[in-house]
Homo-oligomer: A and B are copies of this chain.
Amino acid sequence: MKVVITGAAGFLGQKLAARLLTGATLMTPLGPRAVEELRLFDVVTPAVPDVSAVEGAQPVVTTQLGDITAGDDLRELLGDSVDLVIHLAAVVSSAAEADLDLGLKVNLDGTRTLLEACRNLPRPPMVIFASSVAVYGGTLPTIVSDQTALTPQSSYGAQKVIGEQLINDFSRRGVIDGRVLRLPTIAVRPGRPNAAASSFASSIIREPLQGETAYLPVPESRSLYLLSPRGVIDNMIHAVSIGGDEFGAWRSVMLPGCTVQVGEMLEALEYVGGSEARARVEPAPDPRIEAIVGSWPARFDHQKARGLGFAGDPDIHSIIKAFMEDDFLSPQ
């Protein structure tokens, strides 16, 4: 099985690559398949996760530096055949809001160029597209579901809806076999703060536990819908096992998250790291961030996701536990 990851230099891409390198057999609708080849693509050269400690056969890994909007780069990436494309490459929410042209280029043109390249392969590949809770917004019912209209209040959200429409239409036409996973806010991310409007949701746990200050741009009463990075990867691997028909007439699904108030996150932080950790979170209200994050719903009916076998984290404590096990860096 030949697998491509776009946006492979990002933290989800790196985690996914590591997972595919260590457990290189995937369950597919056609039964278990070994991953023989893994191609990592990004606008900066992706690192190859070190899995030298793992025993057994591993996929051949190649990396490619390229532009997701350049058809030639993508044709080179896909080559003669690909079985699975996991499309993570994107400009994140704050950056897409700050620069409309950049967001349209990467999030719209990039996705379309990739799908056009997939469409020209002799055999339709499976394509997993990372969408986002940011597709929701505006006037919403108290509990949002997969039947709720998508009226996003950010350019990032609009661009993700457009990607979803393309994935669904290309799937309906049979030129790809797509699956769209709408990601909750991902926390706790490893690494440093980034330009995602939701970046703080990771920072307020990660930085204090690692001995640093974090800034909170939204009120403590703000509710978030969270999924751990580990949960995202588990769900992406699970998505490969589901037959396209099981999705019904629409290939998009909101992944199950865990509804948590920021105040509860701070309590959980204190429980794990003590009052000194809690004290490292400084309020820094930012109306621009609050406008974007406040437009994302936090309560979902995730019946469709559960029915398809997707699963979330039970609570904020298990989300922090996953971070401590997978990504915690001891303070220097």
Residue numbers of A with Cβ under 8 A of B are 100, 104, 112, 137-139, 141, 146-153, 155, 158, 161-162, 165-166, 168-169, 172-173, 248-250
- A162 and B104 CA atoms in complex are apart in Å by 12
Contacts of A104 on B, CB cut-off 8 Å? Answer: 112
16 residue pairs A–B, Cβ–Cβ below 8 Å: A138-B248, A139-B248, A147-B148, A148-B149, A149-B149, A149-B250, A151-B250, A152-B165, A153-B172, A155-B169, A155-B173, A158-B165, A161-B161, A161-B165, A162-B162, A165-B165
Nearest to A148 among chain B residues (CB) is: B149
Nearest to A175 among chain B residues (CB) is: B100
Q: Which of A112, A169, A173 has the most chain B CB atoms closer than 10 A to its own CB?
A: A169
- A138 and B249 CA atoms in complex are apart in Å by 5
Q: Which of A150, A161, A162 has the most chain B CB atoms closer than 10 A to its own CB?
A: A162
Contacts of A141 on B, CB cut-off 8 Å? Answer: 147
Contacts of A146 on B, CB cut-off 8 Å? Answer: 149
Contacts of A151 on B, CB cut-off 8 Å? Answer: 168, 249-250
Contacts of A147 on B, CB cut-off 8 Å? Answer: 141, 148-149
